[in-house]
Amino acid sequence: MSSAHAIATPHAATLLAPSATGIPNGKLGMWVFLASEVMFFTGLIGAYIVLRMGHPAWPGSEGHLSVPIGTVNTLLLICSSTTIVLALAAAARGAMAAMRGWLLATIILGSSFLVIKGFEYAAKFSHHILPSTNLFWACYFTLTGFHALHVLGGILFNLWILAYTAQAASWSTRGHRLELAGLYWHFVDIVWIFLFPMLYLFN
């Protein structure tokens, strides 16, 4: 994709134009957004740690999570980080078919994470384990629920990027957003890397 094509429209030119920092506006906007998300999850995780330290009997008799299920979901997200990197690499060399394949693989892996999380939630609900059961479960459902919403947002973002590949004109002016989708997806994966051991291994 040539730079001439990348700035074919005023909107694309605005996103790709360097800001005062020398970083393109679109990428700078994504970094600022991710910084706010980091603060959001840092607040939630910090609150969890404070509550955990204040309750020696944590999480109580009901606080049992399946480590194998959590491990599978962790592996799914790690693999999805790899596939979106491969999608970016394929896009950089102009291999559109490969890029679509890797991006679709990322979407499938992310969707599989949500499906497994849905079954996990359903199993808890069937045993009458709810956010109101105790403080641990209130924290668990809050942390994993917000994370699942972010995963869903990332999947929708990737589907939006995938739709751009249907037409060469759309891709030439908007394909640079794949990098932004990659940044967001890596953030989602990193958050889970913190949540998995905190909730499943050291609760």
> How do residues 78-97 score in pLDDT, each as one tens digit?
999 999 999 999 999 989 89
Which residues have C-beta within 8 Å of that of residue 12, sequence separation ≥ 6? 6, 173, 174, 176
Instruction: State how far the Cα of 159 lies from the Cα of 99, in Å rounded to an integer.
Output: 13
This prediction's pTM: 0.84
What is the extent of the structural domain holding 108?
3-201
Report the CATH number that the domain containing residue 71 is assigned in CATH.
1.20.120.80
pLDDT digits (tens, 9 = 90+) for 129-163: 999 988 899 999 999 999 999 999 999 999 999 98
* Residue 6 confidence class, pLDDT cut points 50, 70, 90: very low
Per the structure, how many domains does the chain have? 1
